[in-house]
Amino acid sequence: MLNAIHIKEKGLAVENQKVNNGIFKSSGISLLSYEYIPAPKRGEIVRQIGDALRQKIKVLGSLVSLEMGKIFVEGVGEVQEYVDVCDYAVGLSRMIGGPILPSERPGHALIEQWNPVGLVGVITAFNFPVAVYGWNSAIAMICGNACLWKGAPTTSLVSVAVTKIIAKVLEDNKLPGAICSLVCGGADIGTAMARDERMDLLSFTGSTKVGKQVALMVQERFGRSLLELGGNNAIIVFEDADLNLVIPSALFAAVGTAGQRCTTARRLFLHESIHDEVVAKLAKAYAQVRIGDPWDSDTLYGPLHTKEAVKMFLDAVEQAKQQGGSVVCGGKVINRPGNYVEPTIVTGLPHDAPIVHTETFAPILYVLKFKEEEEVFAWNNEVKQGLSSSIFTKDLGRIFRWEGTFPDPKEELYLIFVCRPKGSDCGIVNVNIPTSGAEIGGAFGGEKHTGGGRESGSDSWKLYMRRSTCTINYSKDLPLAQGIKFQ
C-alpha cells in the first residue's frame, strides 16, 4: 500500500535534485486493477469515500483549522465540499461517455469513446488542503484514474488523514490503497511530478508564478496540465444595488478565510453616487468582525497562514500608501500570538495603480470609484487574472451585458467579433452574490493568468479522460468518406 510515501523509496533515480525523473514502481498494477472496473462500480467506491469522510467531518475540519488557520466552521465546510463532490461524482459515473454520431457511410457507426488518462497528479495549495483534492480525485476516480497527491508542506497532517481514509475504503473493496497515493515534500517533489512522463495529467493549484513553471515543464514533455492559479477579483456596485446585499457580500468576500481564498474580493468598485455611504457602512461592519482562535465557534476571522504572509500584507499596505491610497481601517499587525493582521480597507487609489493590479494573499480591499458601466467593466477586465467577478444591480439589461449574453445593439456587427468581451472576461461571473463561495455543480476555474483550467462540476470530467473517435464498418462494402473513389 502506498499511502504517505517518501519519494525516493518508491524508485526515483538519484539525479536532478535526486527526484526529478521519477518513476513509481507500483503504479502500473494499481492502474490496471482499477480502470477496468465499470464506471458505476467506481462511483459506488467514491460514494463510500464520501460516507467515510462524512463520519470524520468534524475531526478533519479541526485538522484543517489547526494547520491552515481558517476558522473551524470553514474547515468543516471544506470537508463537506469534498463530500458533496463525491455525491455528485456518483451520479456522474452513470452519465460519462460520448455520443453515437451519424455516419455519412452506409453500414458504418461513428462513436466517441472516452477512456481514463491513467495517472492524475494533484498538487494542492495550503488554503484549501482538502476541497481542491476532492474536486480532482472524486471526478478522476469515477473516470477510472489513479491519483498521486502532493499537498502543501504546511498541511501534511490533514493530507495523511484523508489519504488513510480513502485507502481503507479501497482496501475494504479489495483494491490497492495505492490507487490514491500521497507524497509529502516541497518544490523538488512538485518538479518531479511535473517532469515525470508517467504523470498523464497534472492538476496544479497555486500561484501564477509557480503555475507558469509547472506548465512549461509539463508542456516540454507534451503532457497535460490543469491549472488553477491566482485571482484579482472585483465586485462592482451600481447605484441601484441593494446595499443590504452588498455589505455582507463584500465583507464575506474580502474578509473570509482572512483574505486567503483565490476568489477573495480584492477590488471593490463603487458608483460615485454611493461611494461614501458604502465605505462608511463597510468600515462599521469591519469593526464588528470577531477576531480570535479559529477553533472558537464565535470567531469569524483567524490568522494568516505564515509569517511571510504577514510581511507581504505590511508591504502591500505600505505600497498602497506610497501610491496615494488612504487606509480607512486596519493596516496593522494585531498584538497577539499568531499571524494576525487587521482586515483592511484602502480608498483613494486609481483603478490602474500597480498595487491594485497586484494580487496580495491577505485581507486588503481596494475601494475604487467609477462613473459609467462601460469603464468599470473594462477595469474589471484589465488585470492579468480572470477568476471571479460580481456585480450588484437590478438592471436586467446590464446583467445580461455583464454575463456577455447580448452585445450592445448600438454596436456595429463587425465590432462584436473584434472587440474584447462586453462584460466580464472571468471564469466565474456572478450577479448580486459575492465573488467567493462557488457551488460544486458548476465548473470552477478562470481565464488568462488564472490558468484556464476547470475542476468540479459541469463537463470538467472530460479533462480527466482521453477521447477517441471510433468508426466501425459492419457492412461488406468499403465506402470512403467524402465520396472518394480509390480503385
Tens of pLDDT, residues 139-193: 999 999 999 999 999 999 999 999 999 999 999 999 999 999 999 999 999 999 9
Structure confidence by residue, pLDDT tens digits, 10-68:
333 334 344 444 444 545 555 667 899 999 999 999 999 999 999 999 999 999 999 99
Specify whether 391 is located in the same domain as 433. yes
What is the Cα–Cα distance from 182 to 159, expressed in whole angstroms? Answer: 8
Q: What is the DSSP string of 376-393?
A: HHHHHHTSSEESEEEEE-
Specify whether 326 is located in the same domain as 349. yes
Residue ranges making up the domain that contains 301: 233-439
> Given pLDDT bands bounded at 50, 70 and 90, which one contains residue 5?
very low
| pLDDT score of 3 more than 50 | no
CA-CA-CA-CA dihedral for 81, 82, 84, 85, to nearest 10: 120
Mean pLDDT of all residues belonging to the chain? 93
Could you tell me if residue 475 is inside a domain? no
Cell 468600515 identifies what position?
283
Specify whether 253 is located in the same domain as 206. no
**Residues 435, 67 contacting (CB under 8 angstroms):** no
Specify whether 251 is located in the same domain as 133. no
What is the Cα–Cα distance from 214 to 122, expressed in whole angstroms? Answer: 12
| Per-residue pLDDT, 411 | 54
Specify whether 315 is located in the same domain as 434. yes
**Residues 235, 434 contacting (CB under 8 angstroms):** yes
Q: Residues 208-215: what's their mean pLDDT?
A: 98
Could you tell me if residue 476 is inside a domain? no
| Per-residue pLDDT, 422 | 75
Considering only the C-alpha atoms of the chain, give the largest distance between any 2 of them, rounded to a whole number of Å: 87
Specify whether 435 is located in the same domain as 465. no
Could you tell me if residue 479 is inside a domain? no
| Per-residue pLDDT, 433 | 99
Could you tell me if residue 11 is inside a domain? yes
Which pairs from 76-81 meet CB under 8 Å and 24+ separation? 78/128, 78/129, 78/130, 78/131, 79/53, 79/130, 79/131, 81/130, 81/131, 81/134, 81/135, 81/440
Specify whether 371 is located in the same domain as 348. yes
Percent of residues, the chain, with pLDDT higher than 70 = 90
| pLDDT score of 270 more than 90 | yes
Give the CATH number of the domain where residue 336 resides. 3.40.309.10
Specify whether 203 is located in the same domain as 348. no
Specify whether 456 is located in the same domain as 386. no
Number of compact structural domains in the chain: 2
Cell 497555486 identifies what position?
206
Structure confidence by residue, pLDDT tens digits, 123-147:
999 999 999 999 999 999 999 999 9
| pLDDT score of 419 more than 80 | no
| pLDDT score of 257 more than 60 | yes
> Given pLDDT bands bounded at 50, 70 and 90, which one contains residue 206?
very high
| pLDDT score of 434 more than 90 | yes
Please tell me the pTM assigned to this model.
0.92
Could you tell me if residue 264 is inside a domain? yes
| Per-residue pLDDT, 201 | 99
Could you tell me if residue 486 is inside a domain? no
Give the CATH number of the domain where residue 168 resides. 3.40.605.10
Q: What's the first-to-final CA gap in the chain, in angstroms?
A: 58
Structure confidence by residue, pLDDT tens digits, 320-350:
999 999 999 999 999 999 999 999 999 999 9
| Per-residue pLDDT, 171 | 97
- Residue 30: all three cell numbers together: 494499481
Could you tell me if residue 485 is inside a domain? no
Could you tell me if residue 86 is inside a domain? yes
Specify whether 244 is located in the same domain as 203. no
What is the Cα–Cα distance from 413 to 395, expressed in whole angstroms? Answer: 24
| Per-residue pLDDT, 33 | 75
Q: Residues 419-434: what's their mean pLDDT?
A: 89
What is the Cα–Cα distance from 129 to 156, expressed in whole angstroms? Answer: 9
Q: What does DSSP assign to residue 301?
A: B
Which of 118-132, 261-275, 408-422 comes out lowest in average pLDDT? 408-422
| pLDDT score of 417 more than 60 | no
What is the Cα–Cα distance from 329 to 204, expressed in whole angstroms? Answer: 35
What is the Cα–Cα distance from 399 to 406, expressed in whole angstroms? Answer: 10
Specify whether 412 is located in the same domain as 456. no
| Per-residue pLDDT, 366 | 99
Specify whether 295 is located in the same domain as 405. yes
> Mind telling me the catalytic residues?
228
> Given pLDDT bands bounded at 50, 70 and 90, which one contains residue 407?
low
Q: Residues 259-268: what's their mean pLDDT?
A: 99
Q: How many residues does the chain have?
A: 487
